[in-house]
Amino acid sequence: MDICRLTLHELRDLIRGGEVSPVQAVEAYAARIGAVDERVQAFNSLTTEAALRRARKIEGMQAKKEPLPPLAGIPLAIKDVICTKGVPTTCSSRILEHFVPPYDASVMHKLNDAGAVVLGKTNMDEFAMGSSTENSAFRKTRNPWNLECVPGGSSGGSAAAVAADMCAGALGTDTGGSIRQPGGFCGIAALKPTYGRVSRYGLVAFASSLDQIGPLAKDVRDAAILLGAIAGHDPLDSTSAEISVPDYEAALTGDVRGLKVGIPAEYFIEGMDPEVEAAIREAITTLEGLGAVRVPVTLPHTEYAIATYYLVATAEASSNLGRYDGVKYGYRTPTSEHLIDMYMKTRREGFGAEVKRRIMLGTYALSAGYYDAYYLKALKVRTLIRQDFSRAFEACDVMLTPTSPTAAFRLGEKVEDPLQMYLADVFTISANLAGVPGMSINCGFTGAGLPIGLQVIGKPFDEGTILKAAHAYEQATPWRTRRPNL
């Protein structure tokens, strides 16, 4: 039995039954990371010794016949933007290269309470700004399906680690598609919850009104289990919703008869890869064959989503990243003549090109004389986009769209063209602006053998219906059984 090939729920059941020990699971994954991560480059740091200590503690609970928590002994990976006490949290940036948080994020407390074991922190686009994980200050993560291609971004390290069987599941963050897009590129199940469903306390902020933590997993059931473990109200996060968390795993009935599936015309655009469009339309037909009902819907302000996002997100990033000044924590330039010179050199040397670009865009949009023309107008259009979703969901239960217009592109292909890179998230951004949940699952492969992502978008706080639809499709198709050959 290859422990690393098991899904999270399969491994969970074997640990509960005593057929696999938590230490065996950690050792198996540590060996897998040692065997393949030199090529994939998914991890920024490893916590193998701490993971083994925690695994032995769980085995001690088993020996005493104590009840096990729901994720007891499950080895996970954590995106390097989520604070972990005593473990570096770098955001893949030079400015935080040596930062070690003195506290855990709320999601880490929840995972610890659930018995999960952390294997390490995963690579990402710097401060979660990017769509390919090429903006990391440390390494370029590669797609396990083709090492010459990107894994997507910004949660590319988490997505690649799951796809390459280097962890049983992972956490990522999604500000404009950063869970779903790499999930689609790497052929896994990846879910962005409703804004407010999961606490952001301890998440290093990029754009505070858009960021959300969510799971990346080997299949839909695993995603449901992980979401259940991290969701729920948190008094430490003022944007955390006081809404009860249902049993997401129980929602996976496989029955989608009568489910109304909206197909927004605006998401089938000129320039989309024909192989992607064909796979999405085939997926729609598959769900219809399972009893779902196709419903045409419209999201008329979709064409303004990218422009709106890159005003709102950069404005918030400009404000959030002002704290990295070389005074309080993080990197400080070793040479400066006076205070202002220290500020300027610290930020020039500590931030990468994409982060600087977004700070400048956001600062410009917020500046005197331009605030009303840009930022305020973007907020008004964001409201229109949110209203589009509300009206569309009056006619349907979920919507189906592509996750991205193409499959994974080659390393270096778009890094010099920011606009083309931004367009990789054209189908995911609107869900963040509207605050609604969305999920990507694999719906086939291109002729070159790269995964194609199907996005399922749901009503606010109705992740259960998304998971039900995605699970029914997943069980009716063979895609989940394929693994990259590393």
Q: Rounded distance, CA 150 to CA 125, Å?
A: 11
ω into 154 cis (within 30 of 0): yes
Can you tell me whether residue 84 is helix, strand or coil? Answer: strand
Number of Cβ atoms within 10 Å of the Cβ of 38: 8
Token code pair at residue 113: 């309470």
Token code pair at residue 483: 């693994």
Of 70, 333, 33, 316, nearest to 176 (Cα)?
316
For residue 283, with 0-12 CB atoms within 10 Å meaning exposed, 13-18 middle and 19 or more buried, which class applies?
buried
Token code pair at residue 225: 């289990």
417: number of CA atoms within 13 Å, CB side? 9
Element (DSSP H or E) covering residue 25: helix 22-40
Token code pair at residue 39: 């090529």
Can you tell me whether residue 21 is helix, strand or coil? Answer: coil
Q: Look-up: residue for tokens 């609970």?
A: 61
Q: Answer whether 74's CB lies under 8 Å from 117's CB.
A: yes
- Angle at which helix 220-230 crosses helix 106-113, to 10 degrees, equals 110
Positions marked catalytic = 79, 154, 178
DSSP state of 407: S
State the virtual CA torsion across 31, 35, 39, 43 in degrees, nearest 10.
Answer: 10
Beta strand pairing call for 117-122 and 75-79: parallel
Number of Cβ atoms within 10 Å of the Cβ of 453: 32
For residue 97, the one-letter residue type is E
Q: Answer whether 238's CB lies under 8 Å from 341's CB.
A: no
